[in-house]
Amino acid sequence: MADKTSIKPAKGAGAEKPKLLSGGNPQIAKGYGDGPVQAYIAAMPGWKSALGRRLDTLIMRAVPGVQKAVKWNSPFYGIGGEGWFLSFHCFTKYIKVAFFRGASLSPLPPGTSKQKEVRYLDIYEDDQLDEAQFADWVKQASQLPGEKM
């Protein structure tokens, strides 16, 4: 019997145009693999889509073989059998990147959370993403125990 909390194999994404939810977050059906994540990124409104592609590329470079899924209308990234280490979500004026074990990263990502282990990075349209720092956080996060969701 499969463990529902583990990362599952790829499934296809739907072909219809996604609805945008509150804050412009794309409503994408739960799915595993690159297809649903690319559908989410393509549906991100305006400048957020280009940033989503950039984040996806940086994550894939930092962690070759990373597993992907869309859950709760957000892309998730993880290690097979280990769990999820990162997700991002569209808000009206920014994209919020969640590092599930971010409190263990060095230096700490700037955004705090009500959850002790979680740290956030909020990226606004005019922000200059420090790609080297982001990639370093991704590498560090991928080496920590993942979240089983």
CATH of the domain at 72: 3.90.1150.200
Q: How many CB atoms lie within 10 A of CB 95?
A: 22
Q: Is residue 84 part of a domain?
A: yes
Whole-number Å distance between alpha carbons of 1 and 131? 40
Q: Is residue 149 part of a domain?
A: no
pTM of the model: 0.85
Q: Is residue 11 part of a domain?
A: no
Whole-number Å distance between alpha carbons of 137 and 96? 14
Q: Is residue 66 part of a domain?
A: yes
Q: Is residue 116 part of a domain?
A: yes
Q: Is residue 16 part of a domain?
A: no
Q: Is residue 46 part of a domain?
A: yes
Tokens of 58: 């940086």
Confidence (pLDDT) at 62: 98
Whole-number Å distance between alpha carbons of 106 and 3? 32
- Total domains present in the chain: 1
Q: Domain range for residue 39?
A: 22-142
Helix (H) / strand (E) element for 138: namely: helix 131-142
Helix (H) / strand (E) element for 139: namely: helix 131-142
Residue 102: what are its φ and ψ, rounded to 5°? -60, -25
Q: Is residue 60 part of a domain?
A: yes
C-beta of residue 58 within 8 angstroms of C-beta of residue 34: no
Tens place of pLDDT for every residue, the chain, 149 residues?
Answer: 333 444 444 444 444 567 777 777 788 889 999 999 999 999 999 999 999 999 999 999 999 999 999 999 999 999 998 999 999 999 999 999 999 999 999 999 999 999 999 999 999 999 999 999 999 999 999 999 999 88
**C-alpha distances in Å from residue 104, one per residue of 51, 53, 62, 91, 144:** 25, 26, 18, 25, 8
